[in-house]
Amino acid sequence: MTTPPGSSRRSSHAEAILGPELSARLPQTKVLLVGAGGIGCELLKNIVLAGFGHITLLDLDTIDLSNLNRQFLFRKKDVKQSKALVAAKTASAFNPNVRITPIHGNIKEPQFDISWFKQYDIVLNALDNLEARRHVNKMCLAAGVPLVESGTAGYLGQVQPIVKDRAECFDCVPKSTPKTFPVCTIRSTPSQPIHCIVWAKSYLLPQLFGEDEDAGGELDEAEKQGENAQEIATLRKEAVAFKAVRAALRAPAEMTSSDAAKIVFAKVFRSDIENLLSMADMWRSREPPTPLDFDAIRNGTFVAKKSHQPNGNGTAVNGANGAAPKAPGSAATEQLLNGASSRTTSAASLKDQRTLSLVDNLELFVASVNRLAARIRSGKEEAISFDKDDDDTLDFVTASANLRSTAYGIITKSRWEVKEMAGNIIPAIATTNAIISGLIVLQAFHLLRKSYNSLRNVHVQFRPSMPLSAIKISLPNDSCGVCRDNFAEILCDPARVTLGEVIDGILGDGEGEGAGTGKRDVSVYEDKRVLSDPDWDDNLDRTLESLNVTRGKFLSIVDDDGELETIQLGIGILPPNHSVDEPPYILPTPLPQPKRKVKPRLLEKTPPPPPTGTKRSAPDDDDVPSAKRSKNNGVLQVDKSFSPSKRRKLEEDGLIMIDLADSNLDDADIIVID
């Protein structure tokens, strides 16, 4: 590679710090950076200035106005454009010797398969999505490419280098799952704003505009968990009634602009609440909700029974001053949100931070329902799911949650607050992103040098005395269901190769090194789908394509005896020059030779430490008192060093300490424990 003019002067500082060997290698290094958000922008700037020669930047998102306070590669003129494309264009000016290839796409798309990952020397993760992070972790393990994983949460952050068989992977330590709420709390008895927001986002929006799924499964599970049977029965009736509402939203747009929205409103905020009020027992110990009236709210005559609205006067709840907005219909709310209202008097009245009155929430509800219904009717989208950057879904969730909060006497939230809560957003700190990005590059240098002993898991902590914590990497968890699997890739034509051919080819004949394990009983899965097992072989003669097992997916070949590691077989495509006369697949060489699973060690049961409080719990019947004792000639003797107060406390708990095993016990109520 010819050194461009002036590059030696530009890279002289890197050579002095990194040494000639590593600095000379950087221009040829191929790095994949996944994510161009808060961490991604800082990280892209760092690796460009460090001199990484070939950078592929991949991100699915577009730029939102709220990104500009911390993602410094973007400007206001870039809003709504691809993050990857804009970031690559901006960062290219920092170092003309670096080649940046932007990709606006989803890392989970099938074309980004194992072979695609193998072209990179290192992968750097800058994602905020748990599923995507797990996917990249698995793909890097399968491709044998080192990964640097990272994340931030406010002032906290972490960097984790991952190398197969040398360091624990992203899934070696279980991740906490997002908090969930009981179904009946969300659907019937909310008491906090988050309950109403979760209801609007995870229940109402999918019911109206999501896939037409049977909602009975969630209710069946709630019933198994012992939730109120009467409430469950009422909720089942609601689910049936929703079918008519869904049909009205998908009907040709012959209704007036508010008719479809009014049908939804009447069903959700009036009929459903009246049905709940009919169950008197439910409201004996809690405040009952108030059914909302569409026309009364618009006319300014609706009186909230218990109001936490901004006007706080407990009377008619309508505009901010008790009067309806001058502009008709949803136009008034659009003006309010876009800053055209005369009520915009201070910086606190920014679009998303305004507190909406009840009538504003109603008009926003009508406007968002009509916009979402139009998207469904257009045929371009069969289902719509919540996205914090989708204005239509965010408006719908904001308005629906606030209307429900009004009905239940719960304080309402601004559009910005709803976005934070519904999108599980933790405020991002630009300084934390900058620190984490620098630490990622340091770990990347260690990986490129293969200085595995220098790798560290680094945590940014909210502790002034020790803001950074660097810990030596841990070995992989023997029970990890990801990195302890045996990864391989088969190149094939899914339309021609059968499941049986794949299984037989991967298992091999077991004769000689690299010839596989030989035939054995296995079960085969694709994600959570069972495709075959020793007692069910109906799919063995079907092609992979007919089973929807195509490029980018994995087949899990599980040993039926549980003795050998699972084989994770990635599906790739045949090279263009593969002859049609040859078998429609190319097996990996050598064939996978899974190791025997490590049996978990049985730890000896150790007695719990003695309690430190003044009260002692009564011992189990099978327990022997754990006082200081020694065993001489098979006789259990108790240490005589107990103080009188200690003996008294033991006696209060029903234990009498004796000096010798043959002591006389005259009390008939005493049970001797051998």
Active site residues: 184
Neighbours of 424 (CB within 10 A): 10
DSSP type of residue 90: H
Please indicate if the annotation marks 172 as binding a ligand: yes
Adjacency order of strands within the sheet including 147-153: 99-104, 54-59, 30-34, 122-125, 147-153, 156-162, 456-460, 468-472
Angle at 228 between CA 224 and CA 234, to 5 degrees: 105
CA dihedral for 333, 334, 337, 338, sign (positive or negative)? negative
226 assigned to a ligand binding site: no
Is 602 annotated in a binding site? The answer is no
Rounded distance between C-alpha atoms, residue 241 and residue 243, angstroms: 5
Kindly list the distances between the CA atom of residue 53 and the CA atoms of 236, 325, 403, 649, in Å, as whole numbers in the listed order. Answer: 59, 58, 54, 74
- Say if residue 36 carries a ligand binding annotation: yes
What is the Cα–Cα distance from 46 to 97, expressed in whole angstroms? 14
Structure tokens at 287: 């405040």
- DSSP code for 43: H
The annotation status of 352 as a binding-site residue, yes or no, is no
Tokens of 469: 């914590």
Check whether 70 is labelled as a binding-site residue.
Answer: yes
Lookup result for tokens 């010819």: 2
Cβ burial, residue 236 (10 Å; 0-12/13-18/19+)? middle
* 39 known ligand binder: yes
Please answer whether residues 473 and 168 qualify as being in contact, where contact means their C-beta atoms are separated by less than 8 angstroms. Answer: yes
- 68 known member of a binding site: yes
Known binding residue 404? Answer is no
DSSP state of 123: E
Distance CA 336, CA 354 (A): 8
Cα dist. 183→190, 196, 276 in Å?
10, 12, 14
Tally of CB atoms within 10 A around 403: 22
Burial class (CB in 10 A: 0-12, 13-18, 19+), 648: exposed
447 is annotated as contributing to ligand binding? no
CA end-to-end span of the chain = 83
131 labelled ligand-binding: yes
Q: Answer positive or negative: Cα dihedral of 105, 106, 112, 114.
A: positive
486-492 and 522-526 as β-strands: parallel, antiparallel, unpaired?
unpaired
Q: How far apart are CA 612 and CA 140, in angstroms?
A: 48
The whole-angstrom separation of Cα 439 and Cα 443 is 6
d(CA 538, CA 482): 28
- Is 196 known as a binding-site position? no
Binding residue per annotation — 453?
Answer: no
Q: 124 among the known binding-site residues? A: no
Query: Does residue 655 have a known ligand-binding role?
Result: no
Annotated binding residue 480: yes
Q: What is the DSSP string of 166-233?
A: TS--TTSSPPPPPP---HHHHHT---SHHHHHHHIIIIIHHHHHS----THHHHHHHHHTT--HHHHH
586 CB-contact burial (10 Å; exposed 0-12 / middle 13-18 / buried 19+): middle
Which residues are part of a known binding site for Zn(2+)?
A: 169, 172, 480, 483
| Binding positions for ATP | 35-40, 59, 67-70, 83, 128-133
Binding residues: 35-40, 59, 67-70, 83, 128-133, 169, 172, 480, 483
